[in-house]
A and B are shown apart, each in its own frame.
Chain A
């Protein structure tokens, strides 16, 4: 009983963490006047994202459904899931940087529950999600698959 309540409390607490991080991103993007500035900001974030170990850059870690190559690795530490990723596209890396900012270092349940409303709020979805070229949806799906595996782990 006790453990379950703790788990729920922690979940509630961190869920607001995800929300808070999303709010921060949204207010950052509010400063931009148009899509060009948002694009440039995302590229900047991508260029700053540290590269992952070359050993993860193979088909086992590759996310399908993207025009560009994307590799995503996940590891668990103290009940929390962490993500690191790389891509040959700076824009995709920028998107990954946003997702990592919001989702990395959370419990699997928090990740599963995350609605990721910021993607719509910052105007990203209207620019990329309609095209099959961009794999944002595939990346989110893969992150959630890792989270689900974390939840189902005995």
Chain B
């Protein structure tokens, strides 16, 4: 606890903010306060410049041309695979598949691993906290295969109940897919413990049970070590970790990926094509059909560089400070109720206001220059669990300030005074 208090001074927010041009603007005449970081993060100059540089100076298709530009673009693209591998400590760069985003990554696993290995009556386990993108692909698979989807329950604080997981595990359990961090509540799940429980169960039933981690919300905050945690699959999006939209990553253990059939056919994923028979390329290219989002991947590389070059520990401490301060400020306002009060939590604060519609309040905050998200945050089943239609969600990043949180508190008070009549 002592160390945490000191870090606010150690972490120079003003200096960091200079790297994010979007933050220095006014909205309706008021300084923009960007508290929608769980939806997407803002981009630092280095990422913006890297993308501009690619299109200005070496735009070319990759892995095809013999010419200078193509070689340069291919090198830059391939180099990011190495960067991602190191960032999450994968065993080999072939374990890094570039996708369109975390949603795309999850769908890839459901369509390839799922279609090959899931059979009638098999059981797939997800959790109550999941984003729709870690629910629907599994539902679609279960529908197609007549398999069963089971859901880990949560307690009133918004924490996964591991006893619930233990109860769900059966002789038919074949796959477990859970989020690392909840996008709606900020709950950080005990993913290492989950893997441990699943591994022990798999051993007892003498059947393989891979674990997929949706790390879309986690990657910008946490250090993920896929080998240490023994994850089978990890999915994440570039745009939530300072990079451009339209790009994401699927990490998979080599042993898993090499078992999986291709899903999209096209260029780059083939070894040779004839009208009689096509043979497929090795991983990772087998899963990267067509011209990829080259600028997106190169931009993701710049985002990883940015994260690597900053004091991530101090940044995380700063985010925790903002979160605690926001919880303190908001819970002190009459009529405000925090939703999701997990002990282990990322920089997301979800709340409702008694007698005030969440969207009305969100729009009021917008008039004050404050960007939040309202609604169900693509987690409708989770909202049902709390018996609410949605929340107001403020999500913080390391470039936010305590002063901004104070302004949020004042604006919420004003919103209540205006809307609750």
A residues near B (Cβ < 8 Å) are 34-36, 39-40, 43, 47, 67-69, 88-92, 133-134
Contact = CB atoms under 8 A, between A and B. Distances in A.
27 contacts: A34-B28, A34-B29, A35-B28, A36-B28, A36-B367, A39-B363, A39-B367, A40-B367, A43-B360, A43-B418, A43-B419, A67-B359, A67-B374, A67-B375, A67-B390, A68-B359, A69-B389, A88-B357, A89-B357, A89-B359, A90-B357, A90-B419, A91-B359, A91-B363, A133-B359, A133-B374, A133-B375
B360 A91 contact: yes
A135 to B, nearest CB: 10
Given A69-B389, A88-B357, A91-B359, A39 B375 contact: no
A128 B203 CA distance: 53
Contacts of A133: 359, 374-375
B280 interface: no
B305 to A, nearest CB: 33
Given A39-B367, A40-B418, A67-B375, A89 B28 contact: no
Contact of B360 (A34, A36, A69, A89): A89
B263 interface: no
A28 B29 CA distance: 22
A35 B367 contact: yes
A67 B373 CA distance: 12
A91 to B, nearest CB: 5
Nearest to B356: A90
A34 B375 CA distance: 25
Given A43-B419, A68-B389, A91-B357, 11 more contacts: A35-B367, A39-B363, A39-B364, A40-B418, A43-B418, A67-B359, A67-B374, A89-B359, A89-B360, A90-B360, A133-B375
Interface residues of B, number: 15
B219 to A, nearest CB: 26
Interface in B364-405: 364, 367, 374-375, 389-390
A43 B364 CA distance: 10
Nearest to A134: B359
Contacts of A40: 367, 418
B421 interface: yes
A92 B389 CA distance: 15
Closest 9 CB pairs of A and B: A36-B367, A89-B357, A67-B375, A91-B360, A90-B360, A67-B359, A89-B360, A89-B359, A39-B367
Highest count of chain A CB atoms <10 Å: which of B359, B374, B389, B421: B359
A153 to B, nearest CB: 35
A64 B147 CA distance: 30
A43 B421 CA distance: 11
A97 B166 CA distance: 53
A133 B390 CA distance: 12
Contacts of A34: 28-29
A36 B421 CA distance: 18
Nearest to A35: B28
Given A67-B374, A91-B359, A47 B421 contact: yes
Nearest to B421: A47
A89 B362 CA distance: 11
A11 B364 CA distance: 40
Most-contacted residue by chain B among A36, A47, A92, A134 (CB, 10 A): A36
B387 to A, nearest CB: 14
Nearest to B364: A39
A90 B420 CA distance: 10
Contacts of B360: 43, 89-91
A67 to B, nearest CB: 5
A141 B363 CA distance: 23
A133 B367 CA distance: 17
Nearest to B367: A36
B28 A68 contact: no
A133 to B, nearest CB: 6
